[in-house]
């Protein structure tokens, strides 16, 4: 029962992380940063959005989706265990390596959520002071969507505690 729940959570995480909408949000963020680079280079909100972009890059480079897929493949299936009366269990070092990668990904997602909150608050602050209205409107919508998607992923990852 617990293994089936873990497999289901792995599938949910994979779906949320590998969605095309998430990649589009990252491309939009990079485009906004590129367009406003010369005007806002030392601006606090611009620097906070750069931190969000760095966290996204690190998350893609670490291939968290691949780690979660590996974890799902390592979980023994009940049907194959009953059919052969033996169940292949992965080695402890393999499980520890994959678990460490997933834990690192979860920590990076928490950092990403923190950076999104910081950048969002700064963009709302600058919206209220009527500075760079178009960019701050786009940024606040983009950051809130990123925060929403990754907070859902974070909740699913936190549910890995069985």
> Is it the case that residue 162 has pLDDT exceeding 50?
no
CA distance 132 to 155: 34
Q: Which range, of 52-56, 74-78, 110-114, averages the lowest pLDDT?
A: 74-78
Average pLDDT, the chain: 80
Could you tell me the pLDDT band of residue 109, with boundaries at 50, 70 and 90?
Answer: confident
Q: Which range, of 83-92, 96-105, 135-144, averages the lowest pLDDT?
A: 83-92
Query: What's the whole-number mean pLDDT along residues 28-37?
Result: 87
* pTM for the full predicted model: 0.77
**Which of 64, 56, 58 lies closest to 32 in space, CA to CA?**
56
**Which of 111, 104, 116, 109 lies closest to 146 in space, CA to CA?**
116
Could you tell me the pLDDT band of residue 39, with boundaries at 50, 70 and 90?
Answer: confident
Question: What single-letter DSSP state applies at residue 62?
Answer: T
Per the structure, the complete domain to which residue 122 belongs is given by 2-158
pLDDT value, residue 154: 67
Q: What total of structural domains would you count in the chain?
A: 1
Continuous H helices in the chain: 2-17, 20-35, 44-61, 64-74, 78-84, 92-128, 133-158
CA distance 34 to 135: 12
Query: What's the whole-number mean pLDDT along residues 5-14?
Result: 81
> Is it the case that residue 62 has pLDDT exceeding 70?
yes
**Which of 55, 93, 46 lies closest to 74 in space, CA to CA?**
93
pLDDT value, residue 156: 60
């Amino acid at each position: 029962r617990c293994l089936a729940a873990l497999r289901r959570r792995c599938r949910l995480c994979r779906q949320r992380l590998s969605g095309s909408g998430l990649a589009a949000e990252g491309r939009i963020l990079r485009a906004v940063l590129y367009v406003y680079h010369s005007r806002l280079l030392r601006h606090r909100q611009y620097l906070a959005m750069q931190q969000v972009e760095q966290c996204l890059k690190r998350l893609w480079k670490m291939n968290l989706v691949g780690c979660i897929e590996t974890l799902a493949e390592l979980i023994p299936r009940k049907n194959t265990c009953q059919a052969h009366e033996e169940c292949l269990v992965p080695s402890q070092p393999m499980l520890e390596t994959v678990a460490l990668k997933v834990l690192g990904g979860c920590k990076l997602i928490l950092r990403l959520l923190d950076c999104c909150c910081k950048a969002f608050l700064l963009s709302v602050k600058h919206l209220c002071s009527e500075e760079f209205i178009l960019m701050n409107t786009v940024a606040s919508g983009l950051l809130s969507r990123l925060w929403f998607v990754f907070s859902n992923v974070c909740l699913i990852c936190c549910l890995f505690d069985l």
